[in-house]
Copies of this chain bind each other. A is one copy, B any other.
Amino acid sequence: MTRDLGTTNGAWTNTSVQVHGRKYNLPQRPTVVVCVDGFDPEYLQAGIADGITPNLARFVQEGFSTVAQCAMPSFTNPNNVSIVTGAPTAVHGISGNFYLDKKTKEEIMIVDDSQLRGTTILEQLSKSRVRVAAVTAKDKLRKLIGHGLDIQGGALCFSAEKANTCTLSEHGLSDVERWIGRPTPSQYSGDLSLFVMDAGIKVLEEDRADFLYLTLSDFVQHHSAPQSEASNDFYRALDSRLGRLAELGAVIAITGDHGMSDKADEHGNPNILFLQDALEEKWGQSCARVICPITDPFVKHHGALGSFVRVHLADDQIAKQVTAFCQAMPAVELAMERKAAAELFDMPADREADVVVVAKKSFVIGSCAKDHDLSTIAGHRLRSHGGLSEQNIPLILSVPSKEAPGSRVSWRNFDAFHLALNTVSV
């Protein structure tokens, strides 16, 4: 199935691209990077041990595999952008799904690339005439991963969530439901992710792209622990699609945007620290605004409750006291002031809050109790992410790599493009 991509598609203008100081070779074979949302290593371990994921087991055994760390905070937007830029959030500027505009004091959802700093590997590949397809489960990511793609020149970029509204001019294709053969899935379903995988398979079968980025949804992972029937069903279905991509001759790199931890107590109730309430009790009404950067339109997943929050203070002179106060709380793993947090986690200091608070593995942090709709997470144990405890994710290449897992102090999910484009050894 190996094709000389550069020749069949017209001579490429160069053999590699540079993005944020790293070099990426243009693909020699059809190449797919899959970001499995909420891909905690425990799902992989269970999937291999229980025979649920035979294709992933084969990649792990015969290709490259390690446990890598995602960018902090361990949320979807920062990590998808890190993966497509090969860089931490300090470089590309997207350090949350949701943020407080420091000037206007407005809370803003990131739904486009206006906050993105610099280019992406996908954009540079597309500009070098590599045929790129970027498919996402959630439409909120579409403009970020699609930044600068040459849709008129043949690039594809669309979401499963809005599959039924695709147009040739904006997304590079239309009539997606008929093409895939089923209607746009519910945003609250595992099928939203499988639709993305099926789109990737179609793209390869019809030879419509040389390089694919497929990024999924963590609906299943927020609801279902490893080895549960629901997660087994999802990973079995995902695995068979990964097998099909391999069968079609693709080099596949697989990673996650973040892990996923159980955040409930022994009675099944969520372990929540409502931090703005606690701060206001001590320092008075409106002393602080606690921003939960996990907030996104998919609130049914997690009720906007994650394990990393940003505290903007009315008076930044009390930052030290607030940090010490937070650090002493049982739910808190780590509280740090702006500069220290930005340095430790490689986040953009100019976009950081006065204080950053990270929860312990079994806790989430909310803002005010009244602002979180807990009915959205009723009926199942809360599972979420955002903290240090959800930094671990698998990093897998379907074929052998020239680089060994042990040759680096640590691997990051944002090494996935490097792994797929620069290290394939066969």
Contact = CB atoms under 8 A, between A and B. Distances in A.
Copies in the complex: 2
Interface string A43-65: 01100100000000100110011
A188 to B, nearest CB: 28
A198 interface: no
Contacts of A405: 65-67, 405-406
B406 A66 contact: yes
A408 B45 contact: yes
A45 to B, nearest CB: 5
A190 interface: no
A273 to B, nearest CB: 15
A328 interface: yes
A408 B49 CA distance: 9
Interface stretch (A108-116, A307-315, A392-400): A392-400
Given A327-B327, A327-B328, A328-B327, A67 B396 contact: no
Interface in A378-401: 392, 394-396
A327 B324 CA distance: 8
A41 B409 contact: yes
B328 A407 contact: no
Interface in A28-50: 41-42, 44-45, 48
A404 B67 contact: no
B45 A404 contact: no
Contact of A328 (B44, B65, B324): B324
A317 interface: no
A255 to B, nearest CB: 11
